[in-house]
Amino acid sequence: MEAAVSSQPMPDSSSPKAGSPTRSSETEPALSKRQKKKLLKQQKWEEEKDLRKEKRKERKQQRRLQRQNQPEVERDSQISRKRPRGCLVPCSLKVVVDCSFDSLMLIKDVQKLQKQIQRCYAENRRATSPVQLYLTSFGGQLKDNMELKDKGWRNWKDITVEDKHYSEVLAKDELVYLTSDSPNVLKELDQTKAYVIGGLVDHNHHKGITFEKAKEFGIEHAQLPLSCFIKMNSRKVLAVNHVFEIILAYLEKGSWQEAFCTILPQRKGVEAVGCDTNTPQENNSESHSADKEEKIISCQHREWLAALIGLLLSRRKVQ
């Protein structure tokens, strides 16, 4: 009789034995402590997703109840923040946010710029004298991030968004670049001009770049009259939304000092000074003369001390 042939396949010698490590596990590098921590954090975030959703719903319900229980006076004050459409004052002044510095920024700085632009748009919509707002050279990381985080920007009203450079969108003779490095001080806003704000968040890594760009394209440039009206503990470089809001406040109030003191945050250490435009020059000359006198006195002290030390040393040698 023929021997019965087993139907079970013969074990493959090439297949890994039980308990022996596979090739994939041998080739995969071990995770570092930072990577493990990041992975655990991600897993925890995914697990708590539903919990966060529930908390958001609870907060939303609490806000709704608070609004219902609010007195009518407070409710009216909140409604008054919205711009009454019938009280608009037409404004021909143009403000341009130059977004051509996209390649010089990290993604976190691009995200900050996006928030600043959103703030500009919201403030312009609320303003009683809204300006003609332009975004130029719009593209790259900024556009991708806005598409990802805020697709509603495509429905924005009263704004012109262009992928072209501002020099191709507006006439050269009406452009004024606002930069803190300019020697020209802006005295008042001209309704026929278009004021350009550099859309750059770089933490002072590219100092003077907006001033150089203005000179490169041969357009006018100026700085806000900060030193004429206020003192600050920090540098004069302001965020995009702060410059924009100062322009809106000046158009509404007609006072640079009031606009600066209203808009600039407290961390800047803003302190009002005299409104005379000649004050900064006089202060500079006074401080310069005071520094000169201090230097002369310090030199005289050093000479007197050197003579005294020399006299003491000579007496010690004689003794």
Cβ-contact 96, 199 below 8 angstroms: no
Active site residue 202: yes
Structure tokens at 219: 């357009």
Q: Whole domain around residue 175: which residue ranges? A: 88-224
- Amino acid 294 reads E
- pLDDT, residue 75, reads 55
Q: Quick one: which H or E segment has residue 41?
A: helix 33-47
Which tens digit of pLDDT belongs to each residue from 14-42?
555 555 555 544 556 788 888 888 888 88
- pLDDT, residue 278, reads 40
SS3 260: helix
For residue 59, being part of any structural domain is answered with no
SS3 25: helix
Q: Which CATH number fits the domain that encloses residue 199?
A: 3.40.1280.30
- pLDDT, residue 187, reads 92
Backbone angles phi, psi at 220, to 5 degrees: -65, 155
- pLDDT, residue 231, reads 85
- pLDDT, residue 224, reads 93
**Cα–Cα distances in angstroms (integers) from residue 139 to residues 164, 198, 203, in the given order:** 9, 15, 21
Question: Which one is catalytic: 150, 202, 276, 291?
Answer: 202
Residue 220 CB-density burial (10 A; 0-12 exposed, 13-18 middle, 19+ buried)? middle
E strands, the chain, in order: 94-98, 132-136, 159-161, 175-178, 194-198, 220-222, 230-231, 271-272
For residue 46, being part of any structural domain is answered with no
- Amino acid 278 reads N
**Could you tell me if residue 185 is left (phi over 0), alpha (psi between -120 and 50 degrees) or otherwise beta?**
beta
Structural domain count, the chain: 1
- pLDDT, residue 84, reads 54
Residues near 224 by beta carbon (within 8 Å), at least 6 away in sequence: 178, 180, 186, 238, 243, 246, 256
Residue whose C-alpha is closest to residue 253's, from 129, 159, 146, 132: 129
For residue 108, being part of any structural domain is answered with yes
- Amino acid 223 reads Q
- pLDDT, residue 160, reads 93
**Total-model pTM:** 0.61
Residues near 81 by beta carbon (within 8 Å), at least 6 away in sequence: 126
Q: What does pLDDT average to in each consecutive run of 10 residues of the chain (319 residues)?
A: 49 51 58 86 88 88 84 57 57 93 91 94 92 94 90 90 93 93 92 94 84 92 90 82 94 91 83 56 45 52 72 68
For residue 21, being part of any structural domain is answered with no
For residue 278, being part of any structural domain is answered with no
Question: Dihedral of CA 106/110/112/113: which sign?
Answer: positive
Per the DSSP assignment, residues forming a β-bridge with 197 are 97, 178
- pLDDT, residue 27, reads 59
For residue 284, being part of any structural domain is answered with no
- pLDDT, residue 251, reads 92
- pLDDT, residue 285, reads 45
Residues near 241 by beta carbon (within 8 Å), at least 6 away in sequence: 116, 117, 119, 120, 123
For residue 152, being part of any structural domain is answered with yes
For residue 300, being part of any structural domain is answered with no
- pLDDT, residue 280, reads 41
